[in-house]
Amino acid sequence: MCIMTEPAITQDLISSHGINADEYQRILDIIGREPSFTELGIFSAMWNEHCSYKSSKKWLRTLPTTGPQVICGPGENAGIVDIGDGQALVFKMESHNHPSYIEPYQGAATGVGGILRDVFTMGARPIAAMNSLSFGSPDHRKTRQLVHGVVSGVGGYGNCFGVPTVGGEVRFDTAYDGNCLVNAFAAGLADTDKIFYSAASGVGMPVVYLGAKTGRDGVGGATMASAEFDDTIEDKRPTVQVGDPFTEKRLMEATLELMATGAVVSIQDMGAAGLTCSAVEMGDKGNLGVRLDLEKVPTREHAMTAYEMMLSESQERMLMVLRPELEAQAKAVFDKWDLDFAIVGETIAEDRFVIMHNGELKADLPLKALSGNAPEYDRPWIETPAVTPLSDVPGIDPIDGLHALVSSPNYASKAWVYEQYDTMVMGDSARTPGLGSGIVRIHGTDKAIAFTSDVTPRYVKANPYEGGKQAVAEAYRNLCAVGALPLATTDNLNFGNPEKPEIMGQFVGALKGIGEAVSALDMPIVSGNVSLYNETDGAGILPTPTIGAVGLLTHTDQIIGKEVREGHVALVLGATKGHLGQSALLLEVFGRRDGDAPHVDLALEKAHGTFIRENRELIKACTDLSDGGLALAAFELAEEAGVGVILDSSDTQVLFGEDQARYLIACNFDQAEALMVLAQNAGLHLEAVGKFGGDQVNFGGVKAPLAEMSATYRGAFEKTFA
């Protein structure tokens, strides 16, 4: 028999686990001795940034997370909101940035798998997915490989699992050259009286391992995701998990069937830090200890050590506390679905996390100290200095300006991406990706849910506070523009190294803006994820706090369409001042990144969103104005409908300014008149800016054939990456 000799605990070994000198001293103080190798691994897994949120906890606590619609806020596998009729929506967004850069296909695929498990672990059947992808410059040597790998990974996993991808975003910027972002969102439907949580309860209850077997893939993944990249990045490939969507589908069906038996006391997805994190979280929330016997863990590789089993991030696995009298029924369910079901331990009364392997004690730690007592840092931060005011921007031929936007992969049609995703599986998609929020009908009811994902990283970099507000405001507008009442949000906070005060300052500023906006717009944050250390060789990404938001339509009749017709009037709700600081035009045409982000008036955002929803019967089509301003929004509406557009102005600021709290509305003449009266009575600014019709894009008399512009818009992305 081969006896594994555990390595000696050296300074190099401690450092390689991402544990600094102060943290190691804290470990010594807690346990009163030197940790074993397995114990060091467990502390590393639980105390890294990815699992403990040690740099962000202080600020996350400031976010509004409650409201009458909220059933469950942050702290569980996913957030839950009430959507009426005894139904709840369960949703969350999470990052898989580091794995996706190292191994694009599997990194993105397992990101999708992980977020789907977070949803069905709570008893919800997934109904929708989104993703927010940020890549480096299109001409960077790695970008093409990353785009192909990530998009294939998202589609490969999601399509096989069978959940529609209904929305998302794709952006490119040189700041992501060495560190792409892959943020995955999933939402599911549950009955409000059949929601499952992760807190263990009862002493001596069996702890059950469910799903696929444990391998060596992903060992140390969470620790890797809490570090910057350097030239050793290729060495980190073994830390990326490998996913199997067909096993995940079986796991979901088995889990939901198991829940119906009444056997489940509590249940937890095995995500970051695998068996360690899931066992500790269940014990911590239930104020119980946990004992595990690792020889009972189903493994797919020979002679796995305790260290490897505890830190493996193999996919498609769950941990559950079971009602012992229903063990036979529970096992029968998993046998039917050909999945592993193994009792691997039990809950204990003492505050201990005890790990045995073949009768040998591998770890004996105070459980609470691993979770609740993890380090918490009040990192030094520097407020982001005010930017220099915008210098003069030359006027530009409006058609040339539009052409520059629609020929850029940032603003061209993303059909090449979303056509690789199944957007119609389950048959309830009411609006698929392309223009505005995605919409999914709630099967068997008249209701529908709208989904959107938004952030403008340039704004956040220039002014974190206003950029944070803007991300929420844009999500709010995207939901209102399709007629949905915004309900709640999830956030994925992607930033660089928090140990740099200027980066921490971006984080603090953005959270202040996000917190203020979700409060003013009644969209509390119910779940989320923080991804820090998104840096390579010391260069950080643009601060990218992605906001995923959901909205409710009580009847599908409330959906505001996008059906522009010949002769429709074009109206803009909200005043246009022509803000060009940090605009799409400024970057794409002039290569400039100067000026301030547009400022967001939250009271006006709310008033305008309410006006759109309350007068939806007078509106034929609607979209918010954001990147690219009026010119891009009007073109996209026109292009989608295959009809020309005439705008009265040729002014660069009017056409391409990115003032906030604005919507573009299309309707017939009589409806336009009625809306004008209603807006005036409400003290809101609504003006006619042109009309739809013909076969030209005509801005102030400067024209181009719609067909030509459309061909550029639809072909630019594929031309760059296909």
What is the set of active-site residues? 50, 96
d(CA 73, CA 80): 7
d(CA 668, CA 648): 17
**DSSP assignment string, 46-90:** HHSHHHH-TTTHHHHTTS----TTEEE-BTBSSEEEE-STTEEEE
Q: How many helices and strands (H and E) does the chain possess?
A: 25, 28
Angle at 609 between CA 605 and CA 613, to 5 degrees: 175
Q: Which residue type occupies 553?
A: L
Per-residue CA distances from 368 to 58, 242, 280, 559 (Å)? 19, 31, 8, 48
Strands annotated E in 263-407: 264-269, 289-293, 317-322, 340-348, 353-357, 360-365
Q: Which residue type occupies 110?
A: T
d(CA 719, CA 514): 36
Spell out the alpha helix ranges (H) of 540-616: 584-590, 602-614
Say if residues 640 and 435 touch (Cβ distance below 8 Å). yes
Token pair listed for 531: 């991804």
Residue 248 gets the label, from left (phi > 0), alpha (psi -120 to 50) or beta, of alpha
CB under 8 A, 24+ apart: contacts of 428-434: 428/127, 428/164, 429/164, 429/166, 430/556, 430/559, 431/166, 431/482, 431/559, 432/164, 432/166, 433/165, 433/166, 433/167, 433/168, 434/640
Cα 630 → chain centroid: 27
**At a CB cut-off of 8 Å and minimum separation 6, what does 111 contact?**
94, 95, 96, 99, 100, 153, 154, 182, 184
Residue 101 burial (10 A CB sphere; 0-12, 13-18, 19+)? buried
d(CA 252, CA 258): 10
d(CA 625, CA 521): 18
Residue 475's Cβ-side half-sphere holds a number of Cα atoms within 13 Å equal to: 36
One-letter-per-residue 3-state SS of 415-455: HHHHCCCCCCCCCCEEECCCCCCEEEECCCCCCEEEEEEEC
**DSSP assignment string, 77-142:** SSEEEE-STTEEEEEEEEE-HHHHHHSHHHHHHHHHHHHHHHHHTTT-EEEEEEEEEEE--TTSTT
User: Would strands 702-705 and 696-699 be described as parallel, antiparallel, or unpaired?
Assistant: antiparallel
**At a CB cut-off of 8 Å and minimum separation 6, what does 510 contact?**
460, 464, 465, 467, 468, 493, 543, 545
CA dihedral 362, 320, 45, 289 (to 10 degrees): -60
Reduce the DSSP state of residue 675 to 3 states and report it.
helix
Strands annotated E in 470-626: 485-494, 525-531, 535-536, 539-540, 544-553, 569-573, 621-624
Residue among 207, 210, 209, 236 nearest 223 (CA): 236
d(CA 224, CA 213): 22
Cα 260 → chain centroid: 29
d(CA 552, CA 205): 40
